Chain A
Amino acid sequence: MPSRCETTTARSRFLPWAPLLTLGIMVGPVVAGVLGTLVPAFGYLPALGSDSFGLNAFVLLFDWPGVTRASVLSVTTGVAATALSLLLVTLICAAWSGSRAFRIIERMLSPLLSVPHAAAAFGLAFLIAPSGWIARATSPWLTGWDRPPDLLILQDPLGLSLIAGLVVKEVPFLLLMTLAALTQIRTTQTRDTALALGYPPVTAWFKTVFPRVYAQIRLPVYAVLAFSMTVVDVSLILGPTTPSTLSVQILKWMNDPDLSLRFLGSAAAVWQLALVIGTLILWRLAEVAIARLGRLWVTSGTRGGATRSIKALSLTAAILSASAIVFGILGLLVWSFAGFWSFPDLLPGGFTTRTWMRHAMNLWPVITETLIIASVSTLIALLLTLACLEAEERHGLKPSSRALWLLYVPLIVPQIAFLTGLQTLAIFTGIDGNRTAVIAVHVIFVLPYVFLSLADPFRAWDSRYGHVARALGAGCDGVLWRVRLPMLLRPILTAAAVGFAVSIGQFLPTLLAGAGRVQTLTTEAVALASGGDRRVIAVYALSQTAAAFLPFAVAVFVPDIVWRNRRGLRHA
C-alpha cells in the first residue's frame, strides 16, 4: 500500500528486490542441485574422468538386487504415513473443532512440533523396542517374558515402525496447517447451517468444511508425502535395513570412499525423484477420484452418524500419537540418567549423572556449533522474510498463488535428490565441508517455514496504526521499526523459534553440505543410532530436543515479560 516511501537510501533501494532475492535463495540451489544430480546420473562428470553421456549408472542401479524392494518401501511407507496422518488430522478436526478438548490439543501443538524428527524417532524406538518401556510395563505379568523377546519390532522389513515414527511427527505439522486454513475460511457458519439441516457434526464437517480446507492444505500434504518417502534420519533409526529405504541407500553410495559409486548414487537419486513425482501424480489423481465420490456422497443427502464413535476413535488416536512423543522424550530422560537397568524392571535400579558427565566435554562444542548454525540461518531467513513482507506492503509486490508454490519447492523436491547434486557441485568447486556451506543450505529449508509462520500475522496487522503514525510525522522506516515490529514481537519470535527448530532438526543437509566435518547434535545423535548405546543416544537426543524447544519457550515468555504492562499485546 502506502506508496510515497522514499527509495533513496541504499536499504530502501534494496527493498523492492527482496522478494526476487529470496526466491533465488530458495529455488536457485534446488535447481542447481537437481542439475548436479541429473548430469552425473547420465554419466557426465569430467572430474571423475567421465565426459560422455550414457545410461550405465541406471543399468547398475536396476541390477542392484535391492532396487525393487527399496523403491516399493519408499512408496508404501511414504503414502501410508501421509494418508494416516491426514486421516487422523481430519478426524480430529471434524469431531472436535470448537470444543474445549480441541483448544487443549492446539496448545500442545508447538511443543510437539518443536521436537526434532530424530529425537522423536529415538523416543519411539525406546518405547516399542522388545526391551522398551511398553514391553517392560507388560512383562512378565501379561506377556510372560522375563527377557526381551526376539522380535523384529524396530526396523521391521515392512517399515511399520518407520511409518509410526513419521505419523507422530507429521500429525502436529498437518494439524497446524489445518488450523491456519480453518481460521482463514469461516467454518462455524457453514457447519451450523449443515447442523440445522439435520447433519450430525462429523458428517457436516466432512461435507461442508473439508473440501475447502483440503484445497488450502494441499501443498503441505504434498510436502509431507515427499518428505516421508525420502526421509533419511528417521529411516536410519526406525526403518528396515536389508534393504533399507532408497534414500538411505543413496546416502551410503554417495558417502562411499569409492568415488565411482557417485554415478550410481546420482542415478538412484534421479530414480527417487521420479518415484516422488510419480507418487505425487497418483496422489493427485486419487484426490480427483475421491472428490468425485465425495460429490456423490454430499448430494446423496445421507445424514450419516457415528459421531460418538468417531469422536472416541479420533481422540484416542490423537492421545496415542501425542503420548508416543511425550513418553518417548520421558524415556530418553530416564535412559540418560539410568544406572543398571535390567529387564523387565519398569525403572532403572538407580539414577546417575555419569553418562552426562562423561559426554559433557564432547557435547559442548557440538551444542555450540548447532546453535551458531541455527541462529545465523534463522536470522538470515527472518531478515529476508521481513524484507519481502515489507516490500509487499510498500511496493505492492504481493506474491501470486503461483509464487506460493515456489515457497514449497524446497519442501517438495526431495532433499536427497538435490542435496546430492549440490554436494557434487560443492566438492568440485571446493566450497563444501565448512560451517558457511551448512548455514547456506539450512537457510533454504528455514526460509519457507519462517515465511509461512510470519506472513499471516504480518499481513493481518491493522494498517491504520501505520496511517496514524505517518500522520503523526513518522516515515516508512519509523512506522516499521517503532510501531509495526514491536507490535509484532510475539509472531516474530514464534517464527524465529520455528526456523530455529527446523535448522536444529536438519540431518541430510548438515551431513552433505558439511561433508561429514560439521557436527551438530542431529548428525551426532543419528550417527550413534547404529552403536546402540541407549544412554549416550538419550543424552544427544535430549540435548537436541532441548535446543529446539528452548526458543519456543522464549517466544512464549519474552513477550509476556516485555509486555507485562501492556494488556493489548499479552495474549495476541
Chain B
Amino acid sequence: MPDPGLTLDGVVIRRDGRTLVDISDHVAPGEVLTVMGPSGSGKSTLLSYIIGTLDPGFEVTGRVILNSTDITDLAPEARQVGILFQDELLFPHLSVGENLAFGLRARVKGRAERMRRIEAALDEIGLGGFFHRDPETLSGGQKARVALMRMLLSGPKMLLLDEPFSRLDTERRDKIRALVFEQARAKGLPVLLVTHDHADADAAGGRVHRLE
C-alpha cells in the first residue's frame, strides 16, 4: 500500500548508553515537522542518521521509510534526501552554475539541455546571468538561494533543514524560509526542520517534536 511521505518508525539513537533521540512520527507530503531542542540535544545526530552519514559509534534502532521505500540501509547518495545546513556550503572551487550542475541529476543529458535547465533555475531564484560567478562574491541571501536550488535540482524526495540560514539577518531569513516552504509544498515534499529558534518553528506552522 503506497504511503507517501516520511515515516520515522521507532527511531532511537544512543551513545554510550545515553538516549539522544527517540522519535516515531509520520510527515505527509508538503507537511513540516519541527524538531526542537537545545544545542547538544541530538538534533544534528538525527539529521546525520536520516542522510546516512552517522558515525558508526552510535547505537541505532528503528527504520526510516520514505514514500514506502525503506532507506535505512541505503548509501547516502542513493537516498534522495535533500539537506540544507546552517551554512550554505557552496563548493568554493566551482562557479555558481557549476554548483547547480553538481546537483542536477545526470539523467538530464546533453550539455545544451543541462545548461538550459541551470539558466532557468538561476532565473527562478532571481540570479539570471550568475552562472560564472564565484560563489564567494554573492551576498548571504543569494548564497542561500543557490544552496536551495542546488538541492532541489538533485530531485530530492524530502527536505531536511538544519537550522537553515541562521546566519542571515531576520528579514532575509523570513524570505528564504518562505521560499523553501513554498517550494516544498509545490513539489509535495515532506520537510523535517531542526532548530532551537521558536521563530523557525512558528514560521513552519506544523507540529513540533521536542528533544530533551
**Chain A interface residues (CB < 8 Å from chain B):** 1-6, 396, 462, 464-475, 478, 482-483, 486-487, 489, 563, 565-569
Contact = CB atoms under 8 A, between A and B. Distances in A.
B211 to A, nearest CB: 20
Contacts of A482: 102
Given A1-B55, A3-B56, A567-B136, A471 B89 contact: no
A473 B134 contact: no
B83 A471 contact: yes
Contacts of A566: 92-93, 134, 136
Contact of B51 (A465, A470, A563, A567): A470
B81 interface: yes
Nearest to B91: A483
Contacts of B137: 567
5 contacts: A467-B48, A470-B53, A471-B79, A472-B103, A475-B77
A345 B82 CA distance: 75
Contacts of A486: 93
Contacts of B56: 3, 396
B154 interface: yes
B15 interface: no
A469 to B, nearest CB: 7
Contacts of B178: none
B89 A470 contact: no
Contact of A470 (B55, B77, B87, B134): B77
B43 to A, nearest CB: 14
Contact of B89 (A4, A5, A462, A489): A462
B75 A467 contact: no
A93 to B, nearest CB: 32
Interface in B80-117: 80-83, 85, 87, 89, 91-93, 95, 102-103, 105
User: Top 9 A-B pairs ranked by shortest CB distance?
Assistant: A568-B92, A567-B136, A470-B76, A568-B136, A486-B93, A472-B154, A4-B75, A2-B53, A471-B83
Given A2-B53, A482-B102, A566-B134, A468 B89 contact: yes
Interface in B106-137: 132, 134-137
A2 B76 contact: yes
B134 A565 contact: yes
Interface in B159-197: none
B150 interface: yes
Contacts of B85: 464, 467-468
B91 A467 contact: no
A467 B136 contact: no
Given A465-B89, A471-B51, A6 B75 contact: yes
Contact of B105 (A464, A473, A568): A473
Contact of B154 (A3, A466, A471, A483): A471
DSSP majority for the B interface? loop
B151 interface: yes
Given A471-B82, A565-B134, A4 B87 contact: no
B52 interface: yes
Interface string B64-84: 000000000011110111110
B58 to A, nearest CB: 11
A467 B53 contact: yes
Contacts of B77: 470-475, 478
B102 A469 contact: yes
B8 to A, nearest CB: 18
Interface string B44-56: 0000100111011
Nearest to B105: A473
A473 B91 CA distance: 15
Given A471-B82, A473-B80, A569-B93, 9 more contacts: A2-B76, A467-B85, A470-B52, A472-B102, A478-B77, A483-B91, A567-B134, A567-B137, A568-B136
Interface string B146-163: 000011001010000000
A467 B52 CA distance: 9
Contacts of A472: 77, 102-103, 150-151, 154
A66 B63 CA distance: 77
A107 B154 CA distance: 43
B98 to A, nearest CB: 10
A396 B136 CA distance: 32
B51 to A, nearest CB: 5
A568 to B, nearest CB: 3
Nearest to B95: A565
A459 to B, nearest CB: 15
A480 to B, nearest CB: 13
Nearest to B92: A568
Contacts of B105: 473
A483 B103 CA distance: 13
Given A471-B154, A472-B102, A568-B134, A563 B93 contact: yes
Given A2-B76, A462-B89, A569-B93, A471 B136 contact: no
Contacts of B92: 487, 566, 568-569
A21 to B, nearest CB: 23
**Which of B89, B135, B137: most chain A CB closer than 10 A?**
B89
B93 A467 contact: no
Nearest to B50: A471
A566 B94 CA distance: 8
A563 B156 CA distance: 31
B135 A568 contact: yes
A485 B143 CA distance: 23
A568 B76 CA distance: 26
Nearest to B52: A4
Nearest to A466: B53
Nearest to B75: A4
A563 B137 CA distance: 13
A517 to B, nearest CB: 44
A487 B91 contact: yes
Interface in B20-68: 48, 51-53, 55-56
A467 B51 CA distance: 8
Nearest to A569: B92
A506 B35 CA distance: 59
Contacts of A468: 83, 85, 89
Contact of B76 (A465, A467, A483): A467
A475 B51 CA distance: 13
A471 B76 contact: yes
Nearest to A475: B77
A484 to B, nearest CB: 10
